[in-house]
Amino acid sequence: MTYSRRTLLKTTGLAIATAGLAGCSGQDDASANTETETGAPETEGEDSEGTSAEVAVDASVAVAAEWNAMRARLYDSIALATAGRTGTAGQVAKDVFKRFEESSGEWGAHEQLEATNEENYETFEEHLGGAREAFSSGHADEGIDLAKQAADNLLAAQRGRVDSAVVDALGVLTFGARARDAEMLAAAGEVEAAAEVAHGVYEAFESAPEHEVLEEASGELYEAFEAGIEGAADASDASSIQQSARSAATATVDASYEIAPKSVAGAGHLALMQAIGFDAEVLAGLGGPGDEYAHAASLTLYRARAADVAWLVAQGKTDFAATLAGDIFAHFEGARAHEALEEADHDAYEGFEGGLESLKSAAASGDATATADALATVDENLLAGVSALVGGDAATTLESAFFRARLADARELVALGATDRAASVAEGLFGRFEENEANLHEAVEHESEDLYHRFEEEHLAGLVDAASAGNAEQAATHAEGAMDVLFEFEAAVGTTAEVSAAEAAFFGARGFDAAGLATLDASSRASTVVSSTFEFFETGAGGYHEALEDADHDLYESFEGALGEVRTAAEEDGDTYGAAKTYNQKAVDSMYAVVVTAAADAGLAAAASERMSGVFQTFEGARVHETLEHADHGAYEGFEEKLSAYVSALEAGSEVDASAEAYASATLRAQFAVVGAIDKAPLDHSSHDHSHGEGETELSGGPNVVEGVPEDADHVVKMNAVSFDPAELTVSVGDTVAFEHAGGEAHSVTAYGDKIPEGAAYWASGGFESQEAAETGWDEGKGAVQSGQSYVHTFETAGEHAYYCVPHEAAGMTGKIIVEE
């Protein structure tokens, strides 16, 4: 759909118009769901610090506070995109979507948003899914616009659900959360971006309703907020930004008690603490390039190793080439990057593994065309995986290392006298460079016109011409020149840790080049390759030598020893390939060692831990401390316990994600406790309850939606919160597939009408005869696959059947069944 202010205003108006009077629940029993200790429905008036108007306080307030935490996280993604961290921004948006989809029970954020206004709910999911996709694709401006609209969808729900005083207090606290975003970026060393975010918050505040609300509530706190956020915008150092931003956020917390009853302000303050907890999780991952970069570097090494298969097939070494392809698969199965790739991009993961199987078969048969096709599949999916894991400039640096490895292949083909093959490799690289694969062309040109001209026009074009003409000496010179220029580029744009991990991929590839040469009886050249690689490492290799030595001295020594063993094996006609595999593991280990050390050196794990320790200290002296302890001692103890455990996890650098989620769930429970609705609090976020209170679900499945998974099903596809697993499945004609609900909200299994084979009968849960009918049916509650159920379909027509989940398509929940004869 087209995202516009008109759409937003339409949904906002609908939310307000259809949800009833401000403060009234969209459900008949809402106002009776919260009682005081004496059993009477609760309103708060003159006993609420600074407020005199009656305000309804019930479970809806806790839900509105939870929406506020989600709004804060959406602004997190905006702040990260402002700092150029679009990959992380996309992950934050994805996490918000997942948490929203898994909100459990009648009073979870998901069902309450849907109950408040259906159109606003659907538009929120579309905006949120669009933001995730835009950020993940590197489109910062589009992602920022969509994230803002998603946040405004939640604001519309708040306005339609709770009293204006509650909305005002939560709105002011949202500005506090946005101020803390500037603090987070400053702590990560993103000083310019932090100041820019603070400036944006200041400008937004000047024209927002919260400006007048805060000024009327307390002139002193209004001035404190403005002075703090303006100070952060004007500051030029991280410490000043952090101090000013935190001061501004503190003013919003104090102001919330002047605007709304203490239980409302307390719920809002807890939601802010929840948001800060997620900020700490993000901050801990921003130190250095991170494990994701090491995962992506190891995928880059797989790209280089897979490319070796093709030139070895061309040289007639089909058995060795097939072994090499099989060993890539075996290594990947036990690699740290395995699970990371599967989670980051399941389609790429499946495509990579499937491509490897095809590559091994093609290599064994000696079919050069099939080998090239399989290699293209492997490379395409690995490149997609790199982009999913890191994206942006980081992916470009790794692309440069991959190009260097391929240029090294061309150099060795020249040494073997296969100048025609070297020309083919160079021509392929020229085309990929012109297509701006992984933004390498634009990045090199932007960095330096001299680098760009030397790389493309002098050396890469020169390599193509010289190799095509059979001039081995000139071809070798240009191949080495092109590699050197790209290394200059890496050193210019990457941090030491980034360059080191990228070079580890290049170094590992050189080990396999030596093994390939030895297999082709070119042991002398193999030895030369290792010697030159060793010499490059000893001269520093862009800081790789020192970074590895500082990170892990034992690994550094074993790395050098393993590289030396490759040379010895080549010189003594030993098992060069076995030595190369041992050395390869050292190179991979070094990737993780250098990025982990960089993260520790950045001090951001400590900064994140300090951030949460500050939350603990704040809570101890906060007004909500006594409110929560008095409201429900169990919720109070659970909150403190999970907060303490989260601080410990950040300090240890382990189980951070799980601890953050547990802390968020404890905070949500505390939000319900302070408004007197602990019995309505969602239990957890792991499995969504699809029932509505005591009644039966309003959704129905239809034909072929059954309980459990039939024993005679040939294949099972699990439907998680926002994904099909596997996303791509190959079956045979006549096979039966069960689509099993495994998590999240109710799902549909709906074939795309124009993406199934010609002559195939249309299929979808609900038994509909067309995609349009299936979508209309879903709107009427038909075709739903719920917890404990499966949709079962037997595929009778060969070809590709693409399908999706109607309510979660925007979140990327799509799949494909490939039916073979």
Choose from 128-132, 200-204, 618-622 the range with maximum mean pLDDT: 200-204
Question: How far apart, in whole angstroms, are the C-alpha atoms of residue 229 and residue 242?
Answer: 10
Of 91-95, 173-177, 704-708, 813-817, the range with the highest mean pLDDT is 173-177
pLDDT of residue 716: 94
Other beta carbons within 10 Å of 700: 15
Question: How confident is the model at residue 760, as a pLDDT?
Answer: 93
Predicted confidence (pLDDT) at residue 46 exceeds the cutoff of 90: no
Give the least confident one: 87-96, 157-166, 313-322, 495-504: 87-96
* CA 74/CA 132 separation, integer angstroms: 10
pLDDT confidence bin for 602, thresholds 50/70/90? low
Mean pLDDT score, 601-611: 78
Pairwise CA distance, residues 81 & 138, whole Å: 9
Instruction: Give dist(CA 430, CA 424) in Å, integer.
Output: 10
Average pLDDT, the chain: 87
Q: d(Cα 429, Cα 431) in Å, to the nearest integer? A: 5
Model confidence at 27, in pLDDT bands (50, 70, 90)?
very low
Contacts of 349 (CB under 8 A, 6+ apart): 341, 342, 381, 385
> Which band of pLDDT confidence, cut at 50, 70 and 90, is reported for residue 810?
low
Instruction: List C-alpha distances in Å: 194 to 92, 151, 224, 532, 673.
Output: 18, 20, 19, 44, 35
More confident residue, 533 or 26: 533
Check whether 24 has a pLDDT greater than 60: no
- CA 41 to CA 669: how far, in whole Å? 20
- pLDDT above 90 covers a percentage of the chain that reads 72
Report, as an integer, the average pLDDT of 619-638: 93
pLDDT of residue 684: 53
- Provide the pLDDT for residue 89: 85
Q: Which residue has the tokens 């907060």?
A: 643
**pLDDT computed for residue 139 by the predictor:** 83
Cα–Cα–Cα angle for 402, 407, 410, nearest 5°? 135
The tokens describing 270, both together, are 């807890």
Edge-first strand order for the sheet with 814-820 is 728-732, 814-820, 799-804, 750-751
Average pLDDT over residues 78-91: 84
Angle at 446 between CA 480 and CA 390, to 5 degrees: 80
Decide if pLDDT at 2 tops 50: no
Cα first-last separation, the chain: 38
Q: How many CB atoms lie within 10 A of CB 203?
A: 12
Q: Which residues pair with 792 in a beta bridge?
A: 738
Tell me the pLDDT band of 391, cut-offs 50, 70 and 90.
confident
- pLDDT class of 605 with cuts at 50, 70, 90: confident
| Confidence band, pLDDT 50/70/90 cuts, at residue 651 | confident
The tens digit of pLDDT for each residue in 691-709 reads: 333 333 468 888 899 999 9
DSSP character at residue 692: B
> CB count, 10 Å around CB of 353?
17
Instruction: Tell me the per-residue pLDDT of 486-529, one tens digit each, with 9 for 90 and over.
Output: 999 999 988 899 999 999 999 999 999 999 999 999 999 999 99
Phi, psi of 431 (to 5 degrees): -65, -40
Q: What percent of the chain has pLDDT over 70?
A: 89
- Identify the three-state secondary structure at position 180: helix
Digit-coded pLDDT (tens) for 257-296: 999 999 999 999 999 999 999 999 888 777 667 778 889 9
Please tell me which of 46-50, 52-56, 94-98, 432-436 the model is most confident about, judged by mean pLDDT. Answer: 432-436
For residues 264 and 313, give the distance between their C-alpha atoms in angstroms, rounded to a whole number.
70
* pLDDT in the model for residue 143: 93
Residue 727 DSSP class: S
- The stretch 590-602 carries a mean pLDDT of 76
Name the pLDDT band for 37 (thresholds 50, 70, 90): very low
For 613, list phi and psi in degrees, rounded to 5: -65, -35
Nearby residues of 295 by Cβ (< 8 Å), 6 or more positions away: 336, 337, 340, 341, 344, 389
Residue 309 has pLDDT above 90, yes or no: yes
Average pLDDT over residues 152-166: 96
3-state secondary structure 258-322: HHCCHHHHHHHHHHHHHHHHHHHHHHHHCCCCHHHHHHHHHHHHHHHHHHHHHHHHHCCCHHHHH
Residue 603 pLDDT: 65
pLDDT given at position 392: 84
State the Cα–Cα distance between residues 509 and 495, nearest whole angstrom: 21
Task: Answer yes or no: is pLDDT of 599 > 80.
Answer: no
Token pair listed for 561: 């020893």
**Host H or E run for residue 750:** strand 750-751
CB 131 within 8 Å of CB 87? no
The answer to whether 76 touches 279, Cβ cutoff 8 Å, is yes
pLDDT at 137 over 80: no
Check residue 106 and give its pLDDT.
87
Could you say which DSSP state residue 454 is in? I
Between CA 93 and CA 528 the distance in angstroms is 49
pLDDT band at 176 (very low <50, low <70, confident <90, very high): very high
Whether cis (ω within 30° of 0) applies to the bond prior to 261 is no
